[in-house]
């Protein structure tokens, strides 16, 4: 397992760790395929400073966000700021969301976004569903490049 995912998932159950591994492996497999076929968008991303090592980090964070944090935090957004706390708990693997820890999970989501922003990782890269979407987000031309 990728070192970053191993750290982020050390306390998760087997099914969630396996889901993270599969997601990460699928992303990296596609990235490596595009690298070996000399894909133009991936070349552009690499020219912009996204080495394969950096892309691997983004893939690990994407897997964590897509499999763990995204689903957990989406269940908290619906009820935050309203007078209707969760009427029942939500279980995701061995993680349980209750009205008591809902704001803690929301804060975790906000902190995760701040950390990735400080690492110059576009938040939309974490939401990419496919490796080609991820490559596009990393290679995306700046507005001035269109002029």
Please check whether residue 128 is in contact with residue 122, taking contact to mean a CB–CB distance below 8 angstroms: no
Please compute, for residue 132, the number of CA atoms within 13 A of its CA located in the half-sphere on the CB side: 2
Rounded Cα distance between 111 and 123, Å, is: 12
Q: Which two tokens mark 117?
A: 């922003």
Handedness of CA 127, 132, 138, 144 (dihedral sign): negative
Rounded Cα distance between 80 and 147, Å, is: 42
pTM value? 0.84
Residue spans per domain, the chain: 3-146
Q: What is the pLDDT of residue 66?
A: 96
Q: What is the pLDDT of residue 97?
A: 81
In order along its 147 residues, the chain shows pLDDT tens digits of: 899 999 999 999 999 999 999 999 999 999 999 999 999 999 999 999 999 999 999 999 999 999 999 988 877 765 455 545 566 777 777 788 887 788 888 889 999 999 999 999 999 999 999 999 999 999 986 644 433
């Amino acid at each position: 397992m990728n070192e970053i995912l191993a750290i982020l998932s050390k306390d998760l159950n087997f099914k969630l760790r396996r889901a993270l591994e599969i997601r990460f492996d699928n992303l990296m497999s596609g990235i490596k395929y595009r690298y070996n076929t000399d894909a133009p968008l991936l070349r552009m991303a690499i020219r912009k400073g996204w080495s394969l090592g950096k892309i691997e980090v983004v893939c690990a964070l994407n897997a964590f966000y897509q499999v763990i944090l995204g689903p957990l935090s989406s269940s908290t957004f619906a009820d935050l700021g309203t007078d209707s706390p969760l009427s029942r708990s939500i279980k995701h693997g061995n993680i349980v969301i209750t009205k008591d820890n809902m704001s803690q999970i929301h804060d975790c989501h906000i902190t995760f976004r701040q950390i990735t922003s400080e690492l110059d990782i576009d938040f939309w890269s974490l939401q990419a569903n496919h490796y080609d979407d991820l490559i596009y987000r990393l290679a995306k031309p700046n507005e001035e490049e269109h002029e």
